[in-house]
């Protein structure tokens, strides 16, 4: 009875999406039906940063929130009336937005610069959208160094978020070197030998 109910429900979905004409064709394609059911969605250029990355699951989740602009930074909490203070806890110089916290704050910039130096990249100060574009381009490459760059990016974002929370809730703040070591440890523990050699330059 349950299976019959599901079959009838599927029939209703097919009629609603006008897939019945596809079912009558001689060469039926599940892929075509799936695409019709999926509908039209905007393709984002950074999907491989989150989906094709060997960083830790927690780091990928925080990165995913950053990419979607959904991280609960103080500027958003202030807008919702949850907090009375929207200043960045790491530098106390500006409003804590996603862009400021991860790419404009001197503390965060120093952490990411240290990672770029480790990877023998040219240290460049970029805004949020520019840095995401760079990481998105590297995520499309299959080389070990490109994979390492994407892992470093995600783990750095996660470490900055951890440090921000530690400062707010515990008043603790590690220096740039200590944060850099934490990032390198997590990256090295999750990459293979071929990728890890690029961290030992």
Per-residue pLDDT of the chain (201 residues), as tens digits, is 677 777 667 767 666 666 666 656 667 677 777 777 777 777 788 888 988 899 999 999 999 999 999 999 999 999 999 989 999 999 999 999 999 999 999 999 999 999 999 888 888 888 889 999 999 999 998 888 899 999 999 999 999 999 999 999 998 888 989 999 999 999 999 988 877 777 765
- For the chain, the domains span 2-38, 47-199
pTM of the model: 0.80
Which alpha helices (DSSP H) does the chain contain, by range? 2-16, 20-23, 30-38, 47-51, 57-68, 74-79, 98-99, 106-118, 128-139, 144-170, 176-190, 193-196
């Amino acid at each position: 009875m349950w299976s019959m109910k599901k079959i009838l429900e599927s029939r209703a979905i097919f009629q609603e999406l006008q897939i019945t004409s596809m079912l009558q064709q001689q060469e039926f394609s599940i892929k075509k039906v799936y695409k019709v059911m999926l509908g039209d969605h905007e393709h984002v250029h950074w999907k491989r940063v989150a989906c094709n990355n060997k960083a830790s699951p927690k780091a990928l989740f925080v990165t995913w929130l950053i990419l979607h602009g959904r991280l609960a930074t103080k500027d958003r909490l202030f807008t919702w009336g949850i907090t009375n203070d929207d200043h960045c806890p790491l530098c106390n110089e500006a409003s804590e937005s996603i862009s400021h916290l991860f790419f404009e704050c001197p503390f965060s910039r120093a952490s990411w610069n240290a990672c770029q130096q480790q990877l023998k990249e040219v240290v460049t100060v970029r805004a949020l959208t520019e840095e995401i574009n760079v990481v998105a381009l590297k995520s499309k490459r299959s080389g070990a160094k490109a994979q390492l760059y994407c892992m470093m990016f995600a783990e750095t974002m996660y470490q900055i978020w951890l440090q921000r929370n530690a400062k707010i809730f515990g008043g603790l703040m590690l220096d740039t070197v200590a944060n850099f070591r934490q990032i390198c440890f997590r990256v090295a523990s999750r990459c293979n030998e071929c990728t890890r050699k690029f961290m030992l330059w």
